[in-house]
A and B are shown apart, each in its own frame.
Chain A
Amino acid sequence: MSNTRILEEGKGKLWRTFKKNKTALVGTAIIIIVIAVAILAPWISPHDPLEQNMVHRLKPPDRTYPLGTDEYGRDVLSRVLWGTRVSLSVGILSILFGLVVGTAMGAVAGYKGAIVGSIIMRMVDVLLSFPVLISGILVVAILGPGMDKLILTMGIVFAPRFARLAYGPTLVVKEREYVDSARIIGVSNLRILTHYLFPNIFGGILVAGTLWVGTAILTEASLSFLGLGVSPPTPTWGNMIKSGIDRLTTAPWLSIFPGLSILTTVLAINMIGDGLRDITDPKLRI
């Protein structure tokens, strides 16, 4: 139950240990930059990411187009910067959606216990045994492509993970005396869940959720690469790599730069994750 440990160790102490962990600090710095890029994309992009210019098509990186241009003469740098916005928002929104649905499922299962709880958790276990990508492909094949559906799909795929995560702590917290006292004085089940349980289990879930944004970004990229995610011309890192794969020999920059962007972002999130793990597991502390 390493996530609850984080809360119990106290935020100040956590931050002090976190600050000493170089891997986590570098990861955090990179993520701050990536988020800044996503927010500032409209202002820092040198060109319009959708503007076609057939005269300048497939130009290798130069001074006007630092990362080259694609088959429609669009600036790859601007598309990568705007892609940050799309990829990051799909990642974050889908995790948020999965977090809300999954936590509710797990908390209800844990709080209600008995038959309802075990039915929900057995289903969750079955869903969890599937690779994220295969479940994602199945759901997206049914819902169809598009950004909103992709967020919905990935939310559905991640929900069981949050349910599993919320279930354990709920079982512990619901036995605490203050929950008993609340029940005795007649507080409704819904209010107990929202005001007594959630605040106590939320910290750990939020930490895991933040780290799963990395997995969500990878999944979005994979689905877009398979042509099942966000459709062009909206740039995402995944669909940019997909459209560049046929020109690997002549224009490798089309795939390489979006690929490096995914790698950097996910790597940074995993660096933070490793840092947090080192902090919460003293045996492995560096």
Chain B
Amino acid sequence: MIQFAVRRIILSIPILLIVATLIFFLMRTMPGGPAVAVLGDYATKEAIEALEKQMGLDRPLGVQYADFLGSLVRGDLGKSIINGRPIAPEVGRVLPYTLQLAFSSLLLGIILGIPMGVFTALRRNAFFDYFGRTLSLAGVSIPTFFMGILLMLLFSIQLDLFPVMGAGDSSDLRDTLYHLFLPTLTLGLMMTAYITRTTRSAMLNVLQEEYVRTARAKGLPERIVIYGHALRNAFIPIISFIGVYAIILIGNSILVEIVFSRPGLGKMMIGAIKQRDYITLQSVMVVYASLVVFINLLIDLSYGLIDPRVKYE
């Protein structure tokens, strides 16, 4: 297990390297170059040259690339073009907000989605199944930001139960949770819809297997057949899809952070685009890439915990 984990972590490095390289070179393909992107199309040649010198863009591309990778290895994400402040501490400040939101939403999705998926599969074609399927289909079709707006209209504006914006005082747990509720509900309901659909179809597949029939035939209580035999086997596809959904969730968290004006990586990234701060944008992208690679790693490692047949070789 440990050997596999180490090898899997080492394997993640080239993937991260490819993505970081891709992001670095894509940023250099901006029309007119990053300096023009910052200063605008009407900037004088001197101003552009001065900024390029300041940003180190006048150096050969290879040197810039080596410098970029070297800094990344040291955990240095560069300095913002706009205010000159180092980016890494700012990422460190906002990342917990994004992780809080992602983790709580995923948890809500799992807590609601798996039981709903199991119930709808067990009551196939009954009222509850149709109801659950319609809701989950609507859940995967609704734009995240629209869902956020609807929940905000209902809970914050009509009922005045939750705050409209912000993340609250991070040192006060109650205030943090109070501010986290609606954003979590927005993303969590979307996750619930995805996970319900996956669990339902995984359960339907497993329930037709012979070992389920055998378990029933030998007179095991239905509860043990469903949770001990069927659901346990359905977990492998469910877990791998939860990994895919967690990555979709990271993407959608950007929208939720904007709707609820929450600090976070997404808000930082959109701010960087609006201010044409391409170094911040580049750094935030690398952080997102690392998150995606990390989630994939976690999913791979979790297989063995659920299914003892999976051998880490």
Contacts and interface: CB of A to CB of B under 8 A. Distances in A.
B23 A138 contact: yes
Contacts of B106: none
A167 B145 CA distance: 34
A181 interface: no
Interface in B107-145: 125, 137-138, 140-145
Interface string B172-212: 00000000000000000000000000000100110010000
A22 B152 CA distance: 34
Contacts of A38: none
Interface residues of B, number: 49
Nearest to B272: A141
Nearest to B251: A131
A262 B143 contact: yes
Interface stretch (A10-18, A186-194, A241-249): A241-249
A41 B15 CA distance: 47
Contacts of A139: 26
Contact of B247 (A129, A255, A263, A267): A129
A221 B149 contact: no
B288 to A, nearest CB: 6
A134 B144 CA distance: 14
Interface residues of A, number: 43
Given A138-B285, A248-B157, A255-B149, A222 B143 contact: yes
Nearest to B204: A284
Given A129-B247, A226-B258, A252-B153, A263 B143 contact: yes
Given A245-B259, A274-B137, A284-B204, A222 B144 contact: yes
B27 interface: yes
A278 B57 CA distance: 55
Interface string B1-41: 00000000000000100110011001101110000000000
Interface in A212-253: 214, 218, 221-222, 225-228, 238, 241, 245, 248-249, 252
B254 interface: yes
Interface of B: 15, 18-19, 22-23, 26-27, 29-31, 125, 137-138, 140-146, 149-150, 152-153, 157, 201, 204-205, 208, 247-248, 250-252, 254-255, 258-259, 269-270, 273-274, 281, 285, 288-289, 292-293, 296
26 contacts: A126-B19, A129-B293, A130-B288, A131-B251, A131-B252, A131-B292, A132-B251, A137-B269, A142-B29, A221-B143, A225-B145, A225-B255, A227-B270, A227-B274, A238-B143, A241-B149, A249-B157, A262-B142, A263-B142, A263-B146, A267-B138, A267-B141, A269-B141, A270-B141, A283-B208, A284-B201
